[in-house]
Structure 1
């Protein structure tokens, strides 16, 4: 749990970060963990988690003080997500997606748009979702078909976005749409907008039936001549996709943090179980084969933690390696989460395959971290291109 600080020769997480971890962990164990299994079983939004996070001010810690937020740094935001994910991955998407959806606004929007959106999210009165992907434009984002055209003092949006996390629960949506279909480069014809759930022509589709993170609704959202004010564009026309890609440098570490939390939760559950489960007259944690598994799980988690925090700090300070490190953190931590949760199920034996214990849920939840915000195959392409520059 370390990160290079500003002081000479220091390599540690700041004391205030560890105090934050303790506070979030206490809240998560008391207010979120008791509902995690039931939230998953009934595929319902974790309202208890939302209310607890909002009350404690952990729902969007990254929003700057000038917009009535806490102005927490990138590592603090990762710690909040990690500690919530340790008990419930679905609930961790509340702070994670609030950051994902507002990061383009922070990077490129006018002060007017920032003042319109950010204070309500900081206060927990609203939440936000991010709308980039489409059915035929996943990794190939530049091939999106959603269109926006300027008519007088309004933008008119038409199209459908898919895989929208927390759709239906969010009030604000950061949306990418094509504004110049004739642009020589597809990426230069895409712009970003802020859409409100109450805007005419906006609607939310049915929920997806998913393997994991079942407490977080994932839906299509539809724009049918959806009318928004002209000043709700984020940045200049044609800069939307570049803003989206810059956003991912800030948010891929947070997905790494989510994966890290899932993995830590699975290891903690496994350690508790192997101390209690007896076979051949002794706790299975006394067998060397089990101990080796635990050691490897712990090593991978600790390596992932360092990489996630280092990547978050690199992005925040504008390090030239930020893009590489963000992709490395996201892909490595999510691969670790999948490996560790699979091993945790194995350590529980037959019990691990049942819903009586949390590790099967954690294993299902871990899988998505290898897919969303750019598949791990895409992450490796990003990293390789950075290395080859």
Structure 2
């Protein structure tokens, strides 16, 4: 077993870390509180080529290995988790197009998506269907050379910038089981009837928008059916979500690391009874546990990412997402406790870390649902422990 990053990965992490320290951390709290969109940060990520990290080099992308992919989200989330969301949905949709799209679809979309000229997201969730994707109601009825799409999608990250937006639909609502009648359509934002109707207010996860998207008799060309074959939509979505769990696990590590850093810095600086509170054993016990949990989460995230590199890894990515997300929440709470009353103030970073960490146990499948996925994977012998 090798628990070390290779030289290329270490150099890549150093570049990411420098970018986050210079361009994100100094402005994150102010911009988050004011609701300012991080245009300059997005431009910086575009210049670094990060919008192409899951796109093959032949289409202008970086084609990162899964561990390097995880490093991006760990470092960006260390600065501001919401910014990682801008890359998250985009990179998963790009991978889905790269892995499942027709050659024509790849040539049409991937070069601009890799360059950040276009951006994208994934239209899965609906008002009455989140974890249960087979319960979606959005339909696509074939009418000549076009699909007529009707439905509503919710919580869509990058919705105001996505072009195209891959949308999970039912091309055959009568099929049983339901997933056999589901497909993905690449919906261009300029099509008549496609509307981003509202931004959804959120406790945390600021910096990127989460929106409602309404599709009202949208006519989507037949050639925009992902892969050119109906009935593969659920497979397409699940293949993207596997990388998505690595994404969320890595973001969780970034949040936990930042909570760790803020807690240690404050414990060294804050004085009580004529000494730094870091000198008190009660605080040291908390700090020692915090360091241990953060490093365990990091190793779990990298282990899962490496498992993805080797093939299908539902169990490993499920474990990592569960463990890392719960470490992120615990780390942010511990950091708040070490800050005392100041941890509750919006003048300090830790309250934002707490608000952002809560989403990690919900996004890309709730932790309780993932626990069943992990159990089934182990029972089937797909995940060996």
Common topology (TM > 0.5) = yes
**Alignment correspondent of 1:93:** 85
Q: Displacement of 1:21 after TM fit?
A: 0.8
Alignment of 1:107 onto 2:99: yes
1:46 and 1:90 in contact (8 A); partners too: no
Alpha-carbon distance between aligned partners in 2 of 1:60 and 1:221, rounded to the nearest angstrom: 25
In the alignment, is the contact (CA less than 8 A) between 1:44 and 1:216 conserved in 2? no
Residue in 1 aligned with 2:316?
325
Number of residue-to-residue matches in the alignment: 379
| Aligned partners of 1:176 and 1:193 also within 8 Å | yes
Q: Which residue of 1 aligns with 2:169?
A: 177
Q: Which residue of 2 aligns with 1:188?
A: 180
Q: Compute the displacement of 1:19 (Å).
A: 0.8
| TM-score, structure 2 as length reference | 0.96
Whether 1:243 aligns to 2:247 is no
Residue 152 in 1 paired to residue 150 in 2? no
Q: Distance in 2 between matches of 1:314 and 1:327?
A: 11
**For each residue in 1:288-315, what CA deviation from the matched residue of structure 2 results, as whole angstroms up to 9, or x when unmatched?**
1111111111111111111111111211
Of the candidates 216, 219, 235, which is equivalent to residue 211 of structure 2?
Answer: 219
Query: Of the candidates 20, 23, 26, which is equivalent to residue 28 of structure 1?
Result: 20
> Which of 374, 378, 386 does residue 369 from structure 2 map onto?
378
Question: 1:12 maps to what in 2?
Answer: 4
3-state SS of paired residue (1:311):
helix
Match of 1:7 in 2: none
Query: How far apart in 1 are the matches of 2:52 and 2:348?
Result: 30
- CA deviation map 1:108-127 (0-9, x unaligned): 11111112221111111121
Q: Which residue of 2 aligns with 1:257?
A: 250
**Structure 1 residue aligned with 2:355, among 364, 368, 377?**
364
Q: What TM-score, normalized by structure 1, do the two folds share? A: 0.95
Q: Return the alpha-carbon distance in structure 1 between the equivalents of residues 27 and 191 of structure 2.
A: 33
Q: Over the residues paired in the alignment, what is the CA RMSD in angstroms?
A: 1.2
CA contact (8 A) 1:90 1:214 kept: yes
- Decide which of 297, 305, 317 is 1:304's aligned counterpart: 297
Q: CA deviation at 1:45?
A: 2.4
Unaligned runs of 5+ in 1: 5-9
Instruction: Report matched runs for 1:264-343 at 5 Å.
Output: 264-319=257-312, 322-343=313-334
Alpha-carbon distance, 1:107 to partner: 2.4
CA shift digits 1:47-104 (9 cap, x unpaired): 1210111112223322110111111111111101110100100111122221122222
Q: CA deviation at 1:22?
A: 0.8
Secondary structure of 1:86's aligned partner = helix
- Report if the CA contact (8 A) 1:50-1:59 is conserved: no
DSSP-derived class of the 1:225 partner: strand
1:3-62 Cα shifts (integer Å, max 9, x gaps):
x5xxxxx44211111111111110111111122112211223221210111112223322
> In the alignment, which residue of structure 1 is the partner of 2:383?
none
Deviations 1:193-249 (A, max 9, x none): 111211221110211110101211101111011112111111220110122112211
What SS does structure 2 have at the residue aligned with 1:373? coil
Task: Report the 3-state secondary structure (helix = DSSP H, G, I; strand = E; otherwise coil) of the residue aligned with 1:83.
Answer: helix
Q: In structure 2, what is the Cα distance between the partners aligned to 1:36 and 1:196?
A: 31
Work out the CA distance in 2 between the residues paired with 1:151 and 1:12: 54
SS state at 1:131 partner: coil
User: Contact conserved, 1:131 with 1:174, CA < 8 A, in 2?
Assistant: yes
User: Contact 1:153–1:230 (CA<8 Å) still a contact in 2?
Assistant: yes
Contact 2:55 2:95 in 1 (8 A): no
Match of 2:204, SS?
coil
Rounded to whole Å, the distance in 2 between the matches of 1:373 and 1:39 is: 26
